[in-house]
Structure 1
Amino acid sequence: MAKFILIRHAEPRYDEVDERGYFGMGHELGRLTENGEQQAQFRGSDTSLLGADIIISSPYTRALQTAATISRLTNIQLRVENDLHEWMPDMTHTYKIDDFRKLYQEYRDSKGIRKESTVYNWETYEHLKTRLFSVLDKYKHLDKVIVVCHGLIMSAAGDFEQLFDFVEKLEIDYK
């Protein structure tokens, strides 16, 4: 049975991507704030991470920058896993950031379950879980795996209602 240590990325900034007019998936290119860089260094010095076989990360900049810092500080190999990306607020990847609050609120209110009254085309909670566990299945033969990802991905490993702060971790055993 593998121990997976899921870590939410550090604090991101979006001013640069907003200034460039990026929207939809382009908005995911935001890097860490200076505070976020310090948060990543703090988590990277966490001795409970030592001895992990590998670090796997979401490809989104905020997670990958967090994972790279942890990898550098722990000397643990880093691999990107595309399916660890953030929850998709719009399966067409064309939403405007102004719409995000409405998309996210509908998702939260419906507990991630599509209904007849669902207005927006967001990724369901069940799909999120399927994505996460399909990645974890590839690494469950290892003893200890660090997973740098996003808060909603982490909720798919536990409880829909649970929200995670920046660089907060969740440990799960999975076989």
Structure 2
Amino acid sequence: MSKNIYIVRHCQAEGQPPESQLTEEGFKQAEELALFFSHIPVDRIVSSPFLRAIQTVKPLSKEWNISLEVDDRLAERTLSSVDLPDWMEKLEATYEDLDLKFEGGESSRDAMDRIVCVVEEAFKSDAENIIIVTHGNIMSLLLKNYQESFGFEDWKNLRNPDVFLLKRGVVPFRLT
């Protein structure tokens, strides 16, 4: 059995807080995403608990009549609990030093470990085609785990939405 794990970054959203919903364009993107996956027999859908991630995959969940599993480990990484005016530079530094942690935040390694755990569990499951919906920063850390060269500049080039395919023993590749 060939296992396909599709890692999806949520569609365009109104903001960063967990309760931020999709924009009007984001809802259109979610419908297009459902069409994108319409030829793939999806067995399982797992999503971040953030509203924008759930709304991204809701049309697909309805299309395939698959219940949506919510996993807190797919939530976006918190860089810091305090305002960091130079947050972009600080974020870049966390790609070089995976253990770097700011006040109230999570290191890249900690965030990477939790999303990798979700993916490894998916690889061990009976499902053949699994969609995992998450967020840009933690998604980039997952991709870095499987392709070490994936870094800060790659994170900056992610789109909303974005889809990557993970297969055991194969470098992740972008589908969108």
TM over 0.5: yes
Change (3 A) 1:49 1:7: farther
Runs of 4+ in 1 over 4 A off after TM superposition: 118-121
Change (3 A) 1:106 1:174: same
Pick from 65, 73, 76 the counterpart of residue 75 of structure 1.
65
Change (3 A) 1:112 1:55: farther
- Deviation (angstroms), 1:121: 4.3
Q: Distance in 2 between matches of 1:105 and 1:29?
A: 26
Contact kept, 8 Å, 2:9 with 2:160, in 1: the verdict is: yes
Partner residue in 1 for 2:110 = 127
Partner residue in 2 for 1:37 = 27
Contact kept, 8 Å, 1:2 with 1:174, in 2: the verdict is: yes
Partner residue in 2 for 1:7 = 8
- What aligned pairs does 1:1-175 form with structure 2 within 5 A after superposition? 2-14=3-15, 27-47=17-37, 50-90=40-80, 94-95=81-82, 99=83, 102-111=86-95, 113=97, 114=99, 120-140=103-123, 141=125, 142-158=127-143, 159-161=150-152, 162-163=154-155, 164-174=158-168
Unaligned runs of 5+ in 1: 15-24
Contact kept, 8 Å, 2:3 with 2:128, in 1: the verdict is: yes
Question: TM-score, with normalisation over the residues of structure 2?
Answer: 0.77
Unaligned runs of 5+ in 2: 144-149, 170-176
RMSD of the TM alignment (CA)? 2.4
Pick 1 or 2: higher relative contact order, CA cutoff 8 A, min separation 6.
Answer: 1
- Deviation (angstroms), 1:133: 1.3
- Deviation (angstroms), 1:120: 4.2
The one-character-per-residue Cα deviations of 1:143-164 (angstroms, maximum 9, x if unpaired) are 1110111112221222233222
